[in-house]
Amino acid sequence: MYLSLSYTTLFVCFYCAEVVYSQDASRTILNASRTGLPSSDVVGSITIPTTLTSVSNIETSSIFSLTSSASSIIITAAPTSTASSNPSIAPFPPVGSIPRDYTPAGLSRLWDLIGPVEIPPITTTVIPQTPIALPSPPPALYPPFFAVTPKDILPDLKFPKGFLFGVASAAYQVEGAVKDEGKGPSVWDCFLRALDKLLTRYFLTILPADVVDLHYYLYKEDVARIAALGINSHSFSISWARIFPFGAADSPVNQEGIDHYADVIATHLKSNVTPVVTLFHWDPPLALSAYYGGFASPNIVDDFIHYAKTVFTAYNGSVHTWYTFNEPQVFCSELGSFPFNLTLPNGVNSSNAQFQCSYYLLKAHAGAVKAFREMHITGEIAFKSADYVGMPWRTNNTEDVDAVERHAAFGIGIFADPVYTTGDWPQILKDTLPPDYLPRFTEEESKEILGESDFFAIDAYRTYWNTAPPEGIGACVKNLSDPLWPSCNLEVMVDLNGWASGPASDPLTPWLQATPQFLRTSFKEYHRRWPAPKIYFSEFGFTQPFEGLRTPAELSQITEDPERTNYYMTYLGELLLSIHEDGIPVEGAFAWAIMDNAEWNSGLSARFGIQYVNYSSPNLERSYKRSAFALCKFMAFSETLQALKNSSRLFQQHLQN
Ligand SMILES: *[C@@H]1O[C@H](CO)[C@@H](O)[C@H](O)[C@H]1NC(C)=O
Ligand SMILES: *[C@@H]1O[C@H](CO)[C@@H](O)[C@H](O)[C@H]1NC(C)=O
Ligand SMILES: *[C@@H]1O[C@H](CO)[C@@H](O)[C@H](O)[C@H]1NC(C)=O
Ligand SMILES: *[C@@H]1O[C@H](CO)[C@@H](O)[C@H](O)[C@H]1NC(C)=O
Ligand SMILES: *[C@@H]1O[C@H](CO)[C@@H](O)[C@H](O)[C@H]1NC(C)=O
Ligand SMILES: *[C@@H]1O[C@H](CO)[C@@H](O)[C@H](O)[C@H]1NC(C)=O
Ligand SMILES: *[C@@H]1O[C@H](CO)[C@@H](O)[C@H](O)[C@H]1NC(C)=O
Ligand SMILES: *[C@@H]1O[C@H](CO)[C@@H](O)[C@H](O)[C@H]1NC(C)=O
């Protein structure tokens, strides 16, 4: 999923003042109680119009919280002094102090940094009874305009032949079994625990995803369940620390990890579910952070390329569509924040870590794609972008037009410009960030990076407006202490009259409103700015409001998810129009997520699944939600936009009566 740590924490804390989350008795993940933040934590305050409800691009900072008052939004953060002097947070050993000991003893030592992990209730691969018998589908909601059904959407339009109609997941978020079959720790195994210790101050608890969905042992059933829906593809990620427990190129391969994913891939192929594989979905081996600072160090480049080559060789011919990196911009933006910044190497600090990471990550991407080509690996490869190209909040206001450009440059352009169009950073970045923040490419590096992708992929959950900071873009760009520096723009989720851009999702994902009305414009912009022969809509999805508050006993309330269903139906309808009316070459769409999962530091309470997972059950049973059936039927049924128009006409009549 899209979320960044600081974004999530930002809003989790904001939200926790309102709601107590404490269900799923056996595995309470997020426990927020009504609490105020100590006033000493206020690190900055900006006065902006009350109609602004969201502040973005604060990722270079830290654990934030927002409180809004009548006329201002106050940004608060946990201060360094408290964080580092808090005795409950064990300091991470200095970078480079842990020896490269690639023996079982060395692996134990890495796990000792983490402490005990939860033992999963199941410890071998489960062979399900197949085929999975689908339960009877939900009845249509009435009247139809209350919740669109697949047959309400564009009957004459079809997805192109070979269209990948998929679901998505990511290793850390679904696998569990984090210490099994030779896996090394990933940074998430360690850092969520550190974060949990810090958040204890705010009466918040975040448990790490030691077990979650146990997809690691239940993948056969999971694949069978999506095959039963008729979904023809699954985009998942490989855990680097399962293939290389120590991460490094000179360290041993874990054959159990290789064999595991070989069977995962084979299981997909046998079920006619096309596997789409991401090499890196935010979970680097912890060892590399300990040895040299992970993605803040140039050493990461060769280690990643070696990992990529190993995986390419192992699964060459079985996987056609590959991604190197998931949402690199979000990943890198976390590196300067606690707890990821516990392992920054010399010369890199919280302010420039994001851009050092961006530089090395692009080199790692380019190197892996170069290897892909040189090794004649069959198929196609790219990375997954995230975020959106916005719209000026105040129409025709030149500062807001500039704000849109800044948002696009820092959000997508930072990785997409070098790869798709120029071989270089967006000019806006170069104009804002000095070279000791943002390393400049040599001519040779530019050549290596430009063109290293076969298609464009975008995780496009929503599209909003952008506006200039109240102090003005010029003043912000010059002021390194400005909380909005360096991106110097604000995201706005309401129009000028204060109306939301679309229906809200769960309060735990306040960054997400359903905005199908902007989908076509967005895809036009992606295609215009970063042209590629094909586009994958690599993730989209929605949290049904308050779903995480429900207990397993409320299964029937949980599986009835009309808002998530509407999100998918309206997005897919607009996507069809984008393909047929606008000529945008979209060749796949992937619903996030295959099932409920660990939403990073929001834990299990932010629910994105089209299937429910009973976390109280030792079998972690899955149940289809309405949205799963809607997706399943989408391709079978179709209708014209006329149906939607008719619906709204009925609605008008209804209002008049
Ligand atoms: C949640 O946190 C509060 C305050 O620390 C604690 O009293 C309560 O027992 C916790 N609830 C759960 C379910 O863990
Ligand atoms: C890590 O980030 C936190 C904010 O997230 C900051 O307070 C702290 O100073 C940073 N630590 C280092 C070593 O940069
Ligand atoms: C990958 O498969 C293709 C097609 O079979 C083959 O030509 C190529 O040599 C293989 N590459 C590797 C590294 O195995
Ligand atoms: C914005 O500018 C365009 C072109 O100058 C003009 O047609 C349009 O009416 C303006 N919109 C507003 C809301 O002022
Ligand atoms: C971080 O590093 C940059 C680049 O070397 C430097 O300009 C900046 O002053 C450093 N910031 C801190 C807080 O040390
Ligand atoms: C820079 O931003 C900081 C934080 O908002 C503010 O306190 C300071 O006055 C600004 N400096 C200038 C020169 O505007
Ligand atoms: C969830 O699992 C628990 C424990 O096995 C069980 O008691 C409960 O009935 C399950 N809930 C549903 C809706 O299946
Ligand atoms: C929509 O309304 C038009 C005109 O009343 C009608 O001809 C058409 O069949 C309706 N379409 C659907 C899908 O109901």
Q: Is the CB of 44 under 6 A from ligand 6?
A: yes
* Amino acid of residue 338: F
> Running along the chain, 657 residues long, what does each successive block of 10 average in pLDDT?
33 26 26 28 26 27 31 31 42 93 98 95 94 90 73 72 93 98 97 83 80 98 94 96 98 98 98 97 98 98 99 98 98 93 95 98 98 98 98 97 98 98 98 98 98 98 97 97 97 96 94 97 98 98 96 96 95 92 95 96 90 96 96 61 44 43
Torsional class of 610: left (φ above 0), alpha (ψ -120 to 50), beta (otherwise):
alpha
Rounded to whole angstroms, the Cα distance separating 627 from 561 reads 6
Q: What's the 3-state SS for 348-400?
A: CCCCCHHHHHHHHHHHHHHHHHHHHHHCCCCCEEEEEEECCCCEECCCCCHHH
* CA 399 / ligand 4 centre spacing (Å): 15
Bridge partners, 612 (sequence order):
623
Rounded to whole angstroms, the Cα distance separating 117 from 210 reads 6
Q: Is the CB of 349 under 6 A from ligand 5?
A: yes
Q: What is the dihedral of CA 208, 214, 215, 217, to 10 degrees?
A: 140
* CA 455 / ligand 4 centre spacing (Å): 35
Question: Residues 179, 257: contact at Cβ < 8 Å?
Answer: no
pLDDT at 11: 29
Q: Measured between alpha carbons, how far is residue 292 from residues 171, 247, 337 in Å?
A: 24, 11, 17
Taking the CA atoms of 283, 286, 289 and 292 in sequence, report the sign of the dihedral they define. negative
Q: Whose CA is nearest to atom 14 of ligand 5?
A: 349
Torsional class of 564: left (φ above 0), alpha (ψ -120 to 50), beta (otherwise):
alpha
Ligand nearest to the CA of 94: 2
Ligand nearest to the CA of 348: 5
Which atom of ligand 7 is closest in space to residue 616's alpha carbon?
A: 2
Rounded to whole angstroms, the Cα distance separating 112 from 105 reads 10
Contacts 24+ apart (CB under 8 A), 532-535: 532/382, 532/420, 532/453, 532/454, 532/455, 532/456, 533/454, 533/455, 533/585, 534/454, 534/455, 534/456, 534/585, 534/586, 534/587, 535/455, 535/456, 535/457, 535/458, 535/584, 535/585, 535/586, 535/587
Rounded to whole angstroms, the Cα distance separating 338 from 341 reads 5
Token output for 410: 């820092």
What burial letters (b/e) apply to 433-470, b meaning 16+ CB within 10 Å?
beeebbbebeeebbebbbebbbbbbbbbbbbbbbbbbe
**Crossing angle of helices 519-529/562-580, nearest 10°?**
50
* CA 496 / ligand 8 centre spacing (Å): 35
Q: Whose CA is nearest to atom 14 of ligand 8?
A: 643
Rounded to whole angstroms, the Cα distance separating 237 from 235 reads 7
Q: Residue 201 contacts by C-beta under 8 Å, 6 or more apart in sequence?
A: 78, 82, 86
* CA 482 / ligand 6 centre spacing (Å): 6
Q: Residue 53 contacts by C-beta under 8 Å, 6 or more apart in sequence?
A: 68, 492, 493, 494
What burial letters (b/e) apply to 524-539, b meaning 16+ CB within 10 Å?
ebbbebbebebbbbbb
What ranges do the domains of the chain cover?
5-82+109-656
Rounded to whole angstroms, the Cα distance separating 337 from 96 reads 20
Q: Residue 330 contacts by C-beta under 8 Å, 6 or more apart in sequence?
A: 2, 3, 4, 59, 282, 386
| Residue-wise DSSP of 102-142 | -SHHHHHHHHHTT---PPPS--S-----SSPPPPPPPPPPS
**Global confidence as pTM:** 0.85
Q: What is the dihedral of CA 105, 108, 109, 114, to 10 degrees?
A: 180
pLDDT at 181: 98
Rounded to whole angstroms, the Cα distance separating 570 from 149 reads 9
Residue 648, helix vs strand vs coil: helix
Of 188, 33, 23, 218, the C-alpha closest to 120 is 218
* CA 140 / ligand 7 centre spacing (Å): 26
* CA 344 / ligand 2 centre spacing (Å): 10
pLDDT at 277: 98
Question: Residues 279, 310: contact at Cβ < 8 Å?
Answer: no
pLDDT at 63: 32
Residues in the chain: 657
| Residue-wise DSSP of 208-252 | --SSTT-HHHHHHHHHHHHHHHT--EEEEE--HHHH-TT--TTSP
Q: Is the CB of 33 under 6 A from ligand 1?
A: yes
Ligand nearest to the CA of 355: 5
Q: Whose CA is nearest to atom 7 of ligand 5?
A: 436
pLDDT at 56: 29
Question: Residues 618, 128: contact at Cβ < 8 Å?
Answer: no
Mutate to test the pocket of ligand 1, among 31, 35, 203, 549 (most ligand atoms within 8 A of CB): 31
Of 320, 497, 245, 531, the C-alpha closest to 394 is 497
Q: Measured between alpha carbons, how far is residue 88 from residues 92, 338, 536 in Å?
A: 12, 15, 44
Q: What residues are labeled active site?
A: 327, 539
pLDDT at 90: 60
Q: Residue 231 contacts by C-beta under 8 Å, 6 or more apart in sequence?
A: 165, 166, 167, 273, 631, 632
Bridge partners, 459 (sequence order):
386, 539
Q: Is the CB of 397 under 6 A from ligand 4?
A: no
Taking the CA atoms of 225, 227, 228 and 231 in sequence, report the sign of the dihedral they define. positive
Q: Whose CA is nearest to atom 1 of ligand 1?
A: 31
Which atom of ligand 3 is closest in space to residue 312's alpha carbon?
A: 13
Q: Is the CB of 316 under 6 A from ligand 3?
A: yes
Just give the CATH number of 5-82+109-656. Answer: 3.20.20.80
Ligand nearest to the CA of 643: 8
